[in-house]
A and B are shown apart, each in its own frame.
Chain A
Amino acid sequence: MAATDAFYRNQKTLNIIFAVSSIVMLVSIVAMFMEDYNREWKAEQRIFRDVEEEMTKRAVLAAAPSEESLGDVIRAERTLAEAKKSLAEARQALEKKYGDLLSRKLKKENQKATIKADLDSITSFYNQAAEKHDSAAMEKHKREVDRLRAKFDEVTIEFEDLQREYDSAAKEHQIPEKEEEVKKAERAHKQMLSDFDRFAKLASQKKWRGWREGLLNLPFIDAFASPTRIQQYTFDELPIDYSFKYVTRFDRCTTCHLGLEKLGYDKAALRQLREDPGQNKQIASGFKVVEQILKYRDPESIEKIRKDLERKKQKAQSEGKNEEAAELDKRLSDLPDPGSLSFLNLNLPEADILRPRQISPDVLTDSRVTQFCSHPRQDLFVDGNSPHPAEKFGCTICHSGQGSATRFYEASHTPNDAAAVKRWQHDFQWKSNHYWDYAMLPSRFTESACLKCHHQVTDLIRDGVRNEAPKLVQGYNLVRDLGCFGCHEIAGLKSGRKVGPDLRLEPDPPLDAMSPTDRIKATGDPLNPPGTMRKVGPNLYRLAEKTNAEWVRAWIKSPRGFRPDTRMPHFYMQPNNSPENLPEEQRKFPDTEIHAATHYLMEKSRQHLAEVDSYHTLKAKANPSKEEQQKLASLEAKYEVRTAAPSASKLTLPEAATAPDRGRALFSEKGCLACHQHDAMRTEVRTADNKPLPAIAAESNFGPDLSRLALKLGAEFGKPETAKKWLVSWLLNPSAHNPRTLMPNVQLTAAEANEIASWLLAQKAEWTPEPVAPAEAETLKSMAQMYLEKLMPRKDAKRIPASGFTAEEFEKLAPEADERELGIGAPDDSRLKMYVGKKGIANLGCYACHSIPGMQAAKPIGVALNEWGKKDVERIAFEDAESFLKSHFAVVELRDNPKDKSKPHEEWARAIKAGKKPYEQYFADMLDHHHRAREGFLHLKLTEPRSYDYNRIRTWDERLRMPQFKFARSKKMKDESDEAFAAREAKEEAEGREAVMTFILGLVAESIPAKYVYNPSADKAAEVRGRQVLDKYNCAGCHTIRPGSIEMKLPNLKEFDNDPNIRKQEVPYTGDEFILNEHIAWSGLSQKKPDRWSLSVVNPPLQPNPEDDEPVAGKANIWFMEALQFRNEGKTRNVPAGSRMEIDQNLILKSYPQYGGTFMELLAKYLRRKDRENYGDSKINYAYAAAPPTLVGEGEKVQPDWLYQFLLNPYPIRPLTVLRMPKFNMSPDEAMAIVNYFNAVDKVRNPGIGLTYPYVGVPQRDETYIAAKTTEYINRLKAAGKYEARKKELEPFWNRQYQEKLKEAEDRAKKAAESLDKAPETEKAAAQQAKATADKLLADLKAAGVKEMERNWEEREAYMADASRLVVHGNLCLTCHQVGSEPPKEFKGPNLNNAWQRMRPDWTYRWVVNPNRFLHYVSVMPINFKATGAPENQDAFVGSSDQQIAAVRDFLMAYPVIKDWPVLRARPVLGMGPPPPATPAPADKKPPKD
């Protein structure tokens, strides 16, 4: 068909379609822009601008002068105006009098400046010419320079004349004074208004509703130069690991978290914006003042006010209301002069702009308050001065989440509990973001992130007690205590780089048991150092002599059934292996396995004991045969044998106890309760002679609870007395029974050990053992068959349990094969048990915690946890988790009561009441198959480890085998109902579990660049390392190691400073001691924060619960362990250590308990009750002195060498203590670490004392030091006029000495002459020589005469001789201490003969000054040397008190050098005969009581 003019399609229709589609496109593009305009962060930024504006307004209004002080401001203003006016007038007067003097002066000054400029310029030309050696130009410029200089000099002289003239004229008119006045007035004025002015300026800048910004912020236009923009930090050096590439990290969190770094943006301040500002007094009055100020800007309005006031005043006057009139008069005088006041011109915006507005709670929701607030710990994070400034660290390295995201969802925010999930789903359509591998950590796990850089964990405890990551540290401690690392490797090293905490088992045999060469080899590879953790359970090599099979079986089946707070987890009666859940053919397996394992352990233990005994017998043999020698050598090679004590049955027990309670008293006093508990100790008893043996409520869990010990011990079940030998032998030397035990040798005598053992074994307790069905041969066989099937054809596996291996088959087995236990021929029950037991033990990994014979080389059975924190969810087998949860738990929404997090939620408690196990919905949701998360898996795994396969079809040994642990050790409190306790216990268990989770989730093995990883200084590192050793041996069980700490708000300083109680309560207040400003006990360090005090105190009072609405009234008592320094009214004050103070409980912001000292307190309390005569009431300090000493300041106190030796080999020091420092099973390295800990801590804590370690100089033993001191002392003697007298006193002594010496020399000469006569020819020469020497000696002595002795005294001995007099003088040191061989009146203090090697000299001095500055109780030692008043004891030592203290110190330190000086024995004045020569004997004395 030909073309026609007609269109193919209807044009009208097309036009309509075109129009419609164009509109659709327009709408779609508008939608696109709106979508951009409404991006979440843009909306947030727009809201924040309002918030910021309001916050600035509030800041202005808060800084505004108060209504009352507005008059002051105006007066200050007026003073300033007057001063300025007066200055101007003076200047005018000057002008008037001296005509154009000022202008002439200024003109001359200008002229001078012009010439100077020319001169400088020409000089520079000259210099340039000189540089180029252009002599012609040089000459030319030189001439010009000379000319200008001459002119300059001339003008300068003229100017100076004028200046002088002017100055005198100015002086005449008092211009300098007036200028000074103006400056002063300006300063005063500025002081009143500077903050106000600054904030006002800021407020006008922050004004938001300008048309320009409004325009730029419109949709469409805001796409181009928007006032809202993305904020970000960029971190090239802290990249994100995308596994194949490191990508720069961008943190855009501050795009929405806009107040993060802003000061004052705390939640309370933000919440206030939602309240009606009119209701807030401070804001309202601030605004009123601003309005007033703005009114004053207008002269007319001032005039109006004035008129109004005047009218009122007249009225008042006419009515005779004089007071009112005076008031009005004052207000009139407070009115500014119209137009004259400068502060009206402050950068104050219109009142309307400053008018505070309420922000609707619908806009500023609780979520936005959280979003906009500043970081709550600016002291630790974000702030530029904190350890983790935001510019360096950003946000996501700690919080995780997707930093580059700008949407709530994409940033991977993670809610913290089920309530938050609900809220977020409603408010933000939240769902978990599967597309980001590192979701933000919910706040309950935030501390996990610390582990990335703080690999030592304990380095998160600042100042020894301020635990900044309590949950993580708790988790770490639980992992350590429960021995998770036994099965699960926690290596902390990834390709040689440190990426996390290192918790690995130590090698077997341990380093300590290796030869030095092997040890160096083992520690040689820095990339793979040996592990350091000991197995947490007891060594089972000697099980058979300790207990019996019946007990072991019941214990294995249900450890907590025997000891509720044991660390041993439950392996049996779990969801996947309790008989009711097992298939028919496996039902008897659990009990059979327990039987078999017990049999194996007992049997192997018996074999081991036999080996040990034969080793000891062979070793004792005088002439061993060759075979015996060989056997000995092979036994010697086994360290478990070599280090073991002979079996306990060989022990001869000492006499039986006479008083039955003596054992209990010893148990209470010898420190057992620092690690253990015993139920019998909870009640007081009376001895036979009716003396109290008080209760001692120890709660320590470091060692096992011993309440049921008697039920456990004994080779025969139910006969504890059969274990007495073992127990005594164990108490006497635990490490001979278990070379890796943490139980120290508490240095008991055999008799004491016997008493304690007798008492312990006599304690009865109730316990019904868990029944364990006997092992049937058939079951054993089928179990053996099951194991054998893995190794051999089924037919053989079936045959062998019945008929056994043939000799041929047996030969073929590998030497260490478990099957060897079956032996050749048909195995009997015992052999079957050995095999099945060994297989069971290996399968369950018992050797992870216990040393078990035959299992030395076994490998850990658990999955490594090195990177578990980032384990891919898809690689986790959830199996039956979801359905198990549904059928076994009551899911409750929240665990914690939202009002008081320390209490369980009602729902939680209700579930327990209903007899169900509560499960927090937060974690339950994470098991839901749509929302599986590793936290969810881990939580159930730690709750019910065997739940995942409880319904699965598995063979016995393929079932999950992680045992069930208990993480919390809750104790029922008094007045607590069973239900309340059950709910709390479950909550505490959940918290403990969460702590472990926090630790494990932190194991992400992220290799952070070295500069970000916490790299402590040497001192800090020593502290961290030392702390780990201290914790390992529970040193803090007995000793106080670090004082507690509180943070408190400032009290009313004026009152505080004038509080007479502070010094009155100082203990004991003498008012006359020397103030040692370099030491922290006397002079505090300056406080780091201006608004709070941080104090070191003894047993800090708890902080009031901030969630409580009711403020806690009441006082708290504080005992300072360090001085507090504060400033008040320009003066610096110090409240020294040892002072007591009473403060309002409400002032306490934070409270950190002290590190250690529990047992010390308990023992002191116990002693006071037990023995009132010696420890009661006024002698409380004796009770403390009897307890383990405090170790606060141990570093500055003792010499490192000594402490090191002492730790490895302690000896008794303090006669007053009732117990002895035990000998710990520690390596030299560990002892060194402890020494370094104390030194490092004191070096850092107490910078003023200039502590050095590991070496300490003791100058007191140098001859030069002694000589210098002596010279000084002789002068002092002379000045005091005692020189002659002293010499006279000594003369008889010198004479006697001289005579003795002379006699000696004469004898010697005589003898020499005789021997020369008798000597044969061959020895003549030598004898001749000897005679010559003797003769010369005699001649010299005669020549020197007595004078020589006198000279020696004057140059060398005088100082120390008199110091020694002082030490032994009257009732000083000798009252309590032994010095030399001089016994004290009463043995109270340590033997001072050892002081020279034990004490640091500086500390000794400070201690003598005032011992109470170092203790938390009143020292038994008095202050002997007073700072004020006439110095005492001048007859012994001439000098002031501090010289005397120094002398005592010097004497003690120099003791080994001087102790043999005869002059020390010349003490006629003191009425003492010459004592026998002293020799320091460390352990030669016993405490007086024993």
Chain B
Amino acid sequence: MHSAMSPGFQLGLAGFYLLCAGMNFGFAHVFRSDRIKRGVWGAVGFFFLLHTFLYLTTAAIKPDAGPAIPHAIVDLTNSVFDHFWGPIIYFVASCVGFGLVLWKRRFFTDPTVAIALLNIMLFASGWAMTNADFRSIITKEDNVPIVMLIFTVLFFTWLGLRRAVINDDLIAKNQPVLEKDDEKVLVWPDLVYTELICMVVATALLVVWSVALKAPLEQPATSAKAPNPSKAPWYFLGLQEMLVYYDPWMAGVVLPTFIIVGLIAIPYIDFNQKGNGYYTFKERSFAITSFLFGFLVLWVVLIVLGTFLRGPNWNFFGPFENWDPHKVVPLNNINLSDIFWLNIIGDSRYLETGGSKWIVRELPGILLVLAYLIVLPPVLAKTIFRRYYIKMGFARYFMLITLLQFMASLPIKMVLRWTINLKYIVYIPELFFNI
């Protein structure tokens, strides 16, 4: 292990904890009327302050050592994320967390809970930073925006949900919602002055950022040596993660097209008149859930995955794991045709390649896909989405369901991959067509 702890880093950590302490003292101040809260946040602030002193001391007396995250935790985390279970745990946990937050939104949007979670996150990151592997990934200049993204996305989600919960209560009591305010405001100073301030702050932020973190330029590109891992720009890392499960034509062309088409189509599909201009969850639970699932779970979570957890050879690495390019992860994926003809029927004659033999070979897959796309919507219209179908009419319903099906295709394929090692549902190399 090379020196993870330099005096400079320890001073930085001390500063970080000082900020955390300050924040908690701020909370204590804000909640000064509530004795318990004041006491708790004050105590937490003090706890962070202790860390500050701890690192100030060790920076002085043990410049190259200092307290670091215990090996047991590192090892435990690494073994939890070990090998190919990593993405499953990560994705499933994200989905569960997402469901839990929406379901228990009242609990999670409580400021005390939110602040506690924030404090836990900061505390955990502070200690995690003492691990060299974790830090080297998290502090890479081009990964810094993703760290900011995590906090900002969480904050705004919390903010929306918090207000939605309050509004839902108000609506239930037939009281006006928080945003209920028809008053018009003045261009100057209410609009332009604020914008000016935003411009100034943004400029200052950008200048400070660019001074503090140098442009992450790497060596000249060469055709002989691709960087490992080869990563797309951060905003495409979700797409790149899809490539693990789908062929490029699907992950790179069809699915993104559907994302764009879907976003365009929202106003035409969305027939719900409620929830305009104010936050609500109850009145738009389906719309919010499906959008947030698409945006948070299938987009942001995958970006974070691609940024921090995907290492050389696009292998999954736990947060404390060294990015060793020699790590080999078994890839024993098989095609649906193999599963069907070999494992179920036990007849390899239909597995031949060449010419148009794929028609028979891939028949099960093709039928399955067709069933998914053609049979499923009417079935759903008759069952779960009955109410929607009646309200929306055929065209709008069909559009919605197709979009949802394509959105669902990613988690479906993920689950199939994890459970039965499925490589392709339809595999036609003769036509370069794989699903």
Q: Which residues of A pack against B, CB within 8 Å?
A: 1-4, 7-9, 11, 14, 17-18, 21-22, 24-25, 27-29, 31-32, 35, 242-244, 247, 434-437, 872, 874, 877, 879, 928-931
The listed residue with most A CB atoms (<10 A of its CB), out of B193, B203, B204, is B204
**A7–B186 contact, CB under 8 A?**
yes
Closest chain B residue, CB of each to CB of A243: B222
Closest chain A residue, CB of each to CB of B2: A930
Q: Which among A1, A7, A244 is the interface contact of B189 at CB below 8 angstroms?
A: A7
Q: Which residues of B pack against A, CB within 8 Å?
A: 2, 132, 181-186, 189-190, 193-194, 196-197, 200-201, 203-204, 207-208, 211, 217-225, 228, 322, 324-326
A242 proximity list for chain B (CB < 8 A): 220-222
Give the CA-CA distance A32 to B189 in the complex, in Å: 30
B223 proximity list for chain A (CB < 8 A): 243-244
6 extra interchain contacts, Cβ-Cβ under 8 A, other than A242-B220, A244-B221? A3-B183, A11-B189, A18-B193, A18-B196, A21-B201, A31-B208
**B322–A435 contact, CB under 8 A?**
no
A243-B222, A435-B217 given; A8·B190 CB < 8 A: yes
B220 proximity list for chain A (CB < 8 A): 242, 247
Q: Which among A8, A21, A243, A931 is the interface contact of B197 at CB below 8 angstroms?
A: A21
Closest chain B residue, CB of each to CB of A928: B2
A244 proximity list for chain B (CB < 8 A): 221-223
**B183–A31 contact, CB under 8 A?**
no
Q: Which among A14, A25, A436 is the interface contact of B203 at CB below 8 angstroms?
A: A25
Give the CA-CA distance A1063 to B185 in the complex, in Å: 111
- B188 CB → nearest A CB, Å: 10
- B385 CB → nearest A CB, Å: 41
Give the CA-CA distance A874 to B224 in the complex, in Å: 12
- A816 CB → nearest B CB, Å: 36
- B180 CB → nearest A CB, Å: 10
A243-B223, A244-B222 given; A28·B184 CB < 8 A: no
**B183–A14 contact, CB under 8 A?**
no
A-B pairs, 6 with minimum CB distance: A243-B222, A1-B183, A8-B185, A25-B204, A28-B207, A8-B190
A242-B220, A243-B224, A874-B325 given; A35·B2 CB < 8 A: no
> Can you spell out 27 A-B residue pairs with CB atoms less than 8 angstroms apart?
A3-B183, A4-B183, A7-B185, A14-B194, A14-B197, A18-B196, A21-B200, A22-B200, A24-B201, A25-B207, A27-B204, A28-B203, A31-B207, A31-B208, A31-B211, A35-B211, A242-B220, A243-B222, A243-B225, A434-B219, A436-B219, A874-B225, A874-B228, A874-B325, A929-B322, A930-B2, A930-B132
- A12 CB → nearest B CB, Å: 11
A243-B222, A437-B219 given; A17·B197 CB < 8 A: yes
Closest chain A residue, CB of each to CB of B325: A874
Q: Which among B181, B224, B324 is the interface contact of A929 at CB below 8 angstroms?
A: B324
**B190–A9 contact, CB under 8 A?**
yes
- A428 CB → nearest B CB, Å: 13
- B213 CB → nearest A CB, Å: 12
**B225–A872 contact, CB under 8 A?**
yes
**A18–B197 contact, CB under 8 A?**
yes
Give the CA-CA distance A299 to B222 in the complex, in Å: 74
**B211–A3 contact, CB under 8 A?**
no
**B218–A435 contact, CB under 8 A?**
yes
- A425 CB → nearest B CB, Å: 9
Q: Which among B181, B184, B204, B218 is the interface contact of A21 at CB below 8 angstroms?
A: B204
A28 proximity list for chain B (CB < 8 A): 203-204, 207-208, 211
Q: Which among A9, A25, A435, A928 is the interface contact of B219 at CB below 8 angstroms?
A: A435
Give the CA-CA distance A436 to B217 in the complex, in Å: 11
**A25–B200 contact, CB under 8 A?**
yes
B217 proximity list for chain A (CB < 8 A): 435
A1 proximity list for chain B (CB < 8 A): 181-184
**B183–A32 contact, CB under 8 A?**
no
- B183 CB → nearest A CB, Å: 4
- B252 CB → nearest A CB, Å: 24
B211 proximity list for chain A (CB < 8 A): 28, 31-32, 35
A25 proximity list for chain B (CB < 8 A): 200-201, 203-204, 207
A8 proximity list for chain B (CB < 8 A): 183, 185-186, 190
A931 proximity list for chain B (CB < 8 A): 2
Closest chain A residue, CB of each to CB of B182: A1
**B225–A24 contact, CB under 8 A?**
no
Give the CA-CA distance A17 to B204 in the complex, in Å: 13
The listed residue with most B CB atoms (<10 A of its CB), out of A7, A928, A931, is A7
A7 proximity list for chain B (CB < 8 A): 185-186, 189-190
Closest chain A residue, CB of each to CB of B323: A929
Give the CA-CA distance A874 to B326 in the complex, in Å: 9
Give the CA-CA distance A22 to B203 in the complex, in Å: 10
Give the CA-CA distance A29 to B204 in the complex, in Å: 8
Closest chain B residue, CB of each to CB of A31: B211
**A24–B2 contact, CB under 8 A?**
no
B185 proximity list for chain A (CB < 8 A): 3, 7-8
- A245 CB → nearest B CB, Å: 9
B132 proximity list for chain A (CB < 8 A): 930
B203 proximity list for chain A (CB < 8 A): 25, 28
**B194–A24 contact, CB under 8 A?**
no
A928 proximity list for chain B (CB < 8 A): 2
Closest chain B residue, CB of each to CB of A3: B184
Give the CA-CA distance A242 to B223 in the complex, in Å: 9
Closest chain B residue, CB of each to CB of A438: B219
A243 proximity list for chain B (CB < 8 A): 222-225
Q: Which among B194, B200, B207, B224 is the interface contact of A9 at CB below 8 angstroms?
A: B194
Give the CA-CA distance A243 to B222 in the complex, in Å: 6
Closest chain A residue, CB of each to CB of B8: A429
- A1091 CB → nearest B CB, Å: 44
Give the CA-CA distance A35 to B209 in the complex, in Å: 13
Give the CA-CA distance A1460 to B32 in the complex, in Å: 133
B196 proximity list for chain A (CB < 8 A): 18
Give the CA-CA distance A24 to B209 in the complex, in Å: 13
B189 proximity list for chain A (CB < 8 A): 7, 9, 11, 14
Give the CA-CA distance A886 to B207 in the complex, in Å: 46
Give the CA-CA distance A1180 to B201 in the complex, in Å: 95
- A247 CB → nearest B CB, Å: 8
- A494 CB → nearest B CB, Å: 14
**B207–A29 contact, CB under 8 A?**
yes
- A427 CB → nearest B CB, Å: 14
- B145 CB → nearest A CB, Å: 19
- B418 CB → nearest A CB, Å: 29
B181 proximity list for chain A (CB < 8 A): 1
Give the CA-CA distance A8 to B183 in the complex, in Å: 9
**B204–A24 contact, CB under 8 A?**
yes
A24 proximity list for chain B (CB < 8 A): 200-201, 204
A35 proximity list for chain B (CB < 8 A): 211
- A495 CB → nearest B CB, Å: 15
Closest chain A residue, CB of each to CB of B312: A874
B207 proximity list for chain A (CB < 8 A): 25, 28-29, 31-32
Give the CA-CA distance A28 to B202 in the complex, in Å: 11
**A18–B190 contact, CB under 8 A?**
no
A28-B207, A435-B218 given; A18·B200 CB < 8 A: yes
A9 proximity list for chain B (CB < 8 A): 189-190, 194
Give the CA-CA distance A872 to B220 in the complex, in Å: 14
Give the CA-CA distance A1421 to B183 in the complex, in Å: 125
Give the CA-CA distance A242 to B219 in the complex, in Å: 10
Give the CA-CA distance A548 to B190 in the complex, in Å: 104
Give the CA-CA distance A436 to B2 in the complex, in Å: 21
A22 proximity list for chain B (CB < 8 A): 200
- A1320 CB → nearest B CB, Å: 96
Give the CA-CA distance A35 to B211 in the complex, in Å: 7
Give the CA-CA distance A436 to B223 in the complex, in Å: 15
B224 proximity list for chain A (CB < 8 A): 243, 872
Give the CA-CA distance A436 to B225 in the complex, in Å: 13
Give the CA-CA distance A350 to B220 in the complex, in Å: 53
B324 proximity list for chain A (CB < 8 A): 929
Give the CA-CA distance A24 to B204 in the complex, in Å: 6
- B349 CB → nearest A CB, Å: 25
